[in-house]
């Protein structure tokens, strides 16, 4: 079974620029999550999708972050404009259903200069 795929693995941008991350979940997984992991911290949930609908985006900074999951499969997370404090690893996870264990991708490491 192929795991959760994420790209790019690394991204370096300057503050105020925009950036987008892509996630392809495990085939058949209905629930998709985006997490932010700052160095030395545990992952923090940004947004949760069930198929192509949003279940929870209460911790997503909506003034600069947006996410979509078209057709209930792949998802993109965008930051516009980026701030220095957005430097982190952005992890995507998926699960078969909302009450099933989550499987993580290897993340995108974002550095803001």
Question: Quick check: 64 binds another protein (CB under 8 A)?
Answer: no
DSSP strand pairing (75-79 vs 65-68): antiparallel
The count of other CB atoms within 10 Å of the CB of residue 86 is 20
d(CA 83, CA 95): 30
Among 91, 94, 110, 112, binds another protein (CB under 8 A): 91
d(CA 109, CA 9): 6
Instruction: Work out how close the CB of 11 gets to another protein at its nearest, in angstroms, rounded to a whole number.
Output: 14
Question: Quick check: 108 binds another protein (CB under 8 A)?
Answer: no
Instruction: Work out how close the CB of 57 gets to another protein at its nearest, in angstroms, rounded to a whole number.
Output: 11
The binding site for another protein (CB under 8 A) comprises 4, 31, 40-45, 48, 50, 55-56, 91, 93, 97-99, 101-107, 109
């Amino acid at each position: 079974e192929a795991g959760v795929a994420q790209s790019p693995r690394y991204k370096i941008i300057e503050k105020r620029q925009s950036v987008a991350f892509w996630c392809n979940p495990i085939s058949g997984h209905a629930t998709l999550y985006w997490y932010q992991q700052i160095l030395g911290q545990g992952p923090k949930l940004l947004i949760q999708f069930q198929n192509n609908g949003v279940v929870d985006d209460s911790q997503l900074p909506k003034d600069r972050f947006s996410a979509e999951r078209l057709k209930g499969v792949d998802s993109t997370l965008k930051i516009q404009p980026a701030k220095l404090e957005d430097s982190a690893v952005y992890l995507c996870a998926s699960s078969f259903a909302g009450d099933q264990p989550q499987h993580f991708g290897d993340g995108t490491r974002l550095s803001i200069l």
